[in-house]
Structure 1
Amino acid sequence: MRIWLNKYFGFTKSEFNGLIFLLSILFLLKIIPYLYVYFKPVTQNDPNLLAQIQKIELTDDRNFYPVRDRIEHAGTIKAEKLFNFDPNTLTIEGWQSLGLSPKQAQSIVNYTQKGGKFYKPEDLQKMYTISPERYAKLLPFVQIKTSASSYPQNNLAYDKKPYLKKTLQIVDINTADSAQLDEIKGVGGAFATRILKYRERLGGFHHKEQLMEVYGLDSTKYQEIKDQISMSSVALKVVNVNTAVFDDLKRNPYLSYKQINAIIQYRKQHGNYSGLSDLSKVLILNQGIINKIAPYISF
């Protein structure tokens, strides 16, 4: 490099050495701060540092006043004079005589005037305007009067009336309307409506037990109401099976559509029925069905 500088710029050896020295100085000045930071020795903490931190007072308790204390110290406080009192009726002046400030006294009176009530002496501590120290002083002097009821005691006695057992109504299920059926104990409006609809579909009840065929009226319910019902001998609506068409027979709850068709087709093929014995020839009918429909058909 020296030869190159000498060739092109005419640098002598001494001038070249001076240049190198100058560049070295500049380089050192540049990196010394970084070297200092890197090689700086670690400073040891003062062993008493933690204790010093713990001594720092974050809050000066002696100068800290919550809202209650600021109210208590505000305004002019009269000389304290303790006496027996009822906090429900004590006036502002009375509270001030007990050592409370005007604002404190006004706050408590506002509470009672708006419906607030002290039921026992300890309720006084729920007033945030009264400090615990003041509460401790006032507690022995609290005397709450219990107000007597304005109503005579004998008027509050329960007038027990003798239980009158409702007389059971006997209702004719073949002639009763909805209101009369509703009088049966255990039969409400819903059951009354169902009974009427089923009676219409049947053409009248032939025996009491048919009530158990009403939707929802099981054997248990029947046992409950059976002594309250009667059944008059009314003329049942009957259908002549020798002239009946499909629509005449379909309202009978005991016959299915297939059984109705079988009755009509057998009649077309073999002629009119002469009696119940002829119905037994229709294969799809069993004796139980024939017995059920017998009161409602004619020949």
Structure 2
Amino acid sequence: MKKYTSGYSFWKKQQQRGVLALLLCCVILQIAYFLVDVPSSSAFSQERVIALQEQIDSLKVQESEKEKQYALSSFNPNFISDYKAYILGISAEELSRLQSFRETGKYVNSAKEFQAVTQVSDSLLATIEPLMKFPDWVTKKKENYHSYEKKTEKIIKKDLNTASIEDLLPIRGIGEKLADRIIKYRVKVQGFSSKKQLSEIYGLSEDVITEVWKYFELLSMPEIIKLNINEVSKKELSKVPYLSHKEVDEVLIFRSERRTINSLDELKSIGFTPEKIEQLGWYLKVN
């Protein structure tokens, strides 16, 4: 010890005081560490955790209330979302069946149809059925089915060959464009000679055509002046509907080879189908 402190007497007074002060501070800090009760930071952290947990619980309650309200709101089963299905208890597999069914362009129009497609249980169906909401036309169709049949029986059909655009607009599936297209095509073919001609109009689906014939009929046939196929010129023949320029040339060549065409059925030998010959029969004759 003497070896390490022998030089202390040679230190300056200021240096000696500094060393003593440093030692004194170390002793005081040691005593304070053991004697002074410093508040633990863990107590503060625990209180903070409790407060945060209460906030989380409050948010969970609010979210639960929102989910209940969302689950109790009415919905159209044809447009149910993944989240709505989850809230109602519809499994992903059951929802997938509905989505596959909807991809075919079909709709479910009753709770029974919904169950048949999705295969949900009877207990789940009983819970969600009161929430199902279908379009008004589905409900009215069910409520007034018999009265609707009686109305259709009393329909007085109009003549499609004299119908106007205004007459066609009430037909389900026909707007102004389609109505105008029907009238223009009627002019082009010089009046409808067959119901088949309606299917030749671009944009008319089979369902719309069916609706048309519920309210219209060919009550009068068009007055078409038929041209003699043995005398008609190329210019006149070109104006006949259903004949392309190539087919016009084929008919004229065939006529020149035969000299006289005695029946339109002879055109089968140049590849004309029975349907084509029927169509030409509305505009052409053989004598």
User: Do Structure 1 and Structure 2 share a fold, with TM-score over 0.5?
Assistant: no
Q: Scaled by the length of structure 1, what TM-score is found?
A: 0.40
Compare CA radii of gyration and give the structure with the larger one: 1
| Greater fraction helix | 2
